[in-house]
Amino acid sequence: MDSQGLPLLFILDILNEENCLVDWIDFIDYSIEKKWNINQTFSKIEEGLVDVFGREYSDNVVKRLRYYLLRKNSDC
């Protein structure tokens, strides 16, 4: 399901201007709780981060989030 509201790119841009960061662990946990499509969620995160911070930053965030999910799922 697609979300309605402000685009992630817009929010990331404002947070960047204010020197704020997103708690991506909380964001990904919330998206799972709300049963969002995980692949679509990662795609939107990656797209927004690339536009605001660049490919290298985006790749690092997504890689760490995927690692977090692997660890979280293996601890069950």
pLDDT confidence of 1, banded at 50, 70, 90?
Answer: very low
Q: Three-state DSSP class for 54? A: coil
Joined together, the tokens standing for residue 46 give 């990656």
For the chain, the domains span: 22-74
Residue 2 has pLDDT above 90, yes or no: no
10-60 pLDDT per residue, tens: 999 999 999 999 999 999 999 999 999 999 999 999 999 999 999 999 999
Q: Output the DSSP codes for 14-41.
A: HHHHTT----HHHHHHHHHHTT--HHHH
pLDDT confidence of 7, banded at 50, 70, 90?
Answer: confident
